[in-house]
């Protein structure tokens, strides 16, 4: 299961729903909004997704995890919209008979998500500046520094 949602993620409810009689382990991961990144003080974040392709690519990642690890359940929810410090941006839950594969599957899903899924994060800094994460550098390489978003 994967979904994008614009409302807060209820991790406790998601953890409860991920259940099976043969499951001895649930490993869940919460990615939360941190107040700093690469030395800059972060005030809040904005997430934007390309829904059609984000859902398609996440389904592939979950299917790949299901092939690699013997799981009894696997799910992921990602936020969109405006988030404050401490808010949950992403939740991943992996359910299995034993803990080893649940830990590995959970890590696999969040790592692949970060590299492959078309979701973007705009950081708003406490100094009033704002930047799309991972995008500023490629524009600098192209030799066209974009106008400040101040």
Partner 1 sequence: MKIQVDYFARLRELRGLSSETCITEAPTVGDLYEELNRAHGFGMDREHLRAAVNDDFSSWNRSLCEGDRVVFIPPVAGG
Q: Which residues bind partner 1 (CB under 8 A)?
A: 31, 47-50, 52-54, 56-57, 78, 89-90, 110, 113-122, 132-135, 138-139, 141-146, 149
Structure tokens at 27: 């490993």
Structure tokens at 115: 């590299």
Tell the smallest beta-carbon distance from residue 12 to partner 1 (Å): 20
Q: CB-wise, 22 or 138, nearer to partner 1?
A: 138
Q: CB-wise, 13 or 138, nearer to partner 1?
A: 138
Residue 120: which of 86, 145, 146, 83 has the closest Cα? Answer: 83
Q: How far apart are the first and last CA of the chain?
A: 38
Tell the smallest beta-carbon distance from residue 128 to partner 1 (Å): 16
Q: CB-wise, 19 or 139, nearer to partner 1?
A: 139
Tell the smallest beta-carbon distance from residue 122 to partner 1 (Å): 7
Residue 44: which of 35, 57, 54 has the closest Cα? Answer: 35
Residue 133: which of 120, 144, 145, 143 has the closest Cα? Answer: 120
Q: What is the CA radius of gyration of the chain?
A: 17
Tell the smallest beta-carbon distance from residue 54 to partner 1 (Å): 8
Q: CB-wise, 16 or 56, nearer to partner 1?
A: 56
């Amino acid at each position: 299961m994967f979904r994008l949602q614009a409302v807060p993620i209820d991790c406790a409810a998601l953890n409860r729903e991920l259940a099976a009689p043969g499951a001895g382990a649930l490993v869940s991961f919460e990615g939360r909004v941190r107040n700093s990144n690469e030395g800059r003080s972060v005030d809040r974040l904005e997430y934007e997704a390309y829904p059609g392709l984000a859902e398609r690519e996440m389904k592939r990642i979950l299917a790949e995890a299901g092939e690699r690890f013997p799981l009894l359940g696997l799910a992921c929810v990602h936020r969109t919209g405006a988030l404050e410090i401490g808010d949950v941006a992403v939740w991943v839950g992996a359910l299995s008979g034993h803990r080893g594969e649940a830990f590995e599957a959970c890590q696999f899903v969040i790592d692949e998500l970060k590299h492959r899924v078309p979701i973007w994060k705009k950081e708003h800094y406490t100094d009033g500046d704002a930047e799309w994460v991972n995008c500023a550098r490629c524009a600098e390489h192209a030799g066209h520094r974009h106008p400040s978003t101040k």
